[in-house]
Amino acid sequence: MVAMEIDDYLGVIAVEAARMAAIAEETSLDAHTPTCPTWNLRQLLLHTGEVHRWATAVVAGRHTSLANVPNDTLGPLPNDNGMVAWFRDGAAKLLETLASADPSVDYDTFLNDPPIPRLLFWARRQAMEICIHRVDAESAVGRCTPCPPKVAADGIDEFLTGFITRGKGAVHRDTPHTIGVVLVDAAQRWAVTIGDGPITTERSVAETDCTITGSASDVFMGLWNRATLDDDAITGDRSLIADLGANVRIRWN
């Protein structure tokens, strides 16, 4: 299930890229990013710019296998004086590529349950990627702009159905336990079951051992370890949430 259309995702990317660039112009590139604690703003912009260029190469090259994407998608790295312009240029080329891409191409993907057409996967993934990294950038200047409920709810869906259900995973329980996710400002609901095999996610809420209840933005940032969920947002076995946050690792492919 995807709640948004290609133009919606392009709008998100454009807004969030502009916010990140503005923060980089506002403060030093050496500024620490507390929500991404091993990085500073320079490293964050370089990483996000790299992701933009890689995704652009996938879509522009009409790649149906990620193994065929060239290894030299990054190009020359900028110096500090050119960092913001380099970042803006990568975001602009990503937007141009996604806007003009052929939706009939069966682009390769790297998450479970990718949307159809596959172009939506790439627009969605880039929108959610930059939403989270904008949060990281804002943490360098001590603020955090909430994500719109529709955007955050779609990001939660991608995280719960696409990311954490890949492979066998690192979170296990001998007896299956279920986490419910309930949003107070959006209609979507999820039930995440952790057992001795792969994590499974259903777009509904059944009987649960633990339930997260909150705004879409708070839950989205909490699941991505960018914010701490309030104590009253979690009922039941809190260790399930702790295990999820500590053991889920995100990879591009």
- Residues 130 and 173 grouped into a single domain: no
**In the predicted model, is pLDDT for residue 95 greater than 50?**
yes
**In the predicted model, is pLDDT for residue 2 greater than 90?**
no
- Residues 108 and 168 grouped into a single domain: no
pLDDT tens by residue, 41-90 = 999 999 999 999 999 999 999 999 999 999 989 989 999 999 999 999 99
Give the rounded percent of residues in the chain with a pLDDT score beyond 90.
83
Residue 46, strand partner residues: none
Domain that holds residue 216: 159-247
Rounded-to-integer distance, Cα 52 and Cα 170, Å:
28
Angle, CA of 186, 252 and 238, to the nearest 5°: 50
pLDDT band at 172 (very low <50, low <70, confident <90, very high): confident
Q: Where are the beta strands (DSSP E) in the chain?
A: 177-183, 189-194, 200-202, 210-214, 234-236
- Residues 112 and 210 grouped into a single domain: no
CA 41 to chain centre: 18
> What six digits make up the tokens of 215?
């705004």
119 within 8 A of 109, measured Cβ to Cβ? no
**In the predicted model, is pLDDT for residue 250 greater than 60?**
no
- Residues 121 and 188 grouped into a single domain: no
Rounded-to-integer distance, Cα 30 and Cα 40, Å:
6
Phi and psi torsions of 190, nearest 5°: -140, 150
> What six digits make up the tokens of 20?
């990140």
Find the CATH number of the domain harbouring 218. Answer: 3.30.1050.10
CA 205 to chain centre: 23
pLDDT tens by residue, 219-234 = 999 999 999 988 899 9
Predicted confidence at residue 253, as pLDDT, reads: 41
Rounded-to-integer distance, Cα 35 and Cα 32, Å:
9
Distances (CA, A) of 196 to 137, 166, 168, 184, 190: 37, 14, 9, 31, 20
* Domain assignment of residue 173, yes or no: yes
The count of residues in the chain is 253
Find the CATH number of the domain harbouring 55. Answer: 1.20.120
Domain count, the chain: 2
Return all residues near 29 (Cβ < 8 A) that are at least 6 apart.
40, 41, 42, 45, 80, 83
* Domain assignment of residue 149, yes or no: no
Give the rounded percent of residues in the chain with a pLDDT score beyond 70.
96
Predicted confidence at residue 249, as pLDDT, reads: 58
Phi and psi torsions of 181, nearest 5°: -125, 120
Look over the chain and give the mean of its residue pLDDT values, rounded to a whole number: 93
pLDDT tens by residue, 46-59 = 999 999 999 999 99
In degrees to the nearest 10, what's the CA dihedral of 23, 24, 30, 34? 30
Distances (CA, A) of 57 to 26, 71, 98, 155: 30, 10, 11, 23
pLDDT band at 248 (very low <50, low <70, confident <90, very high): low
- Residues 101 and 222 grouped into a single domain: no
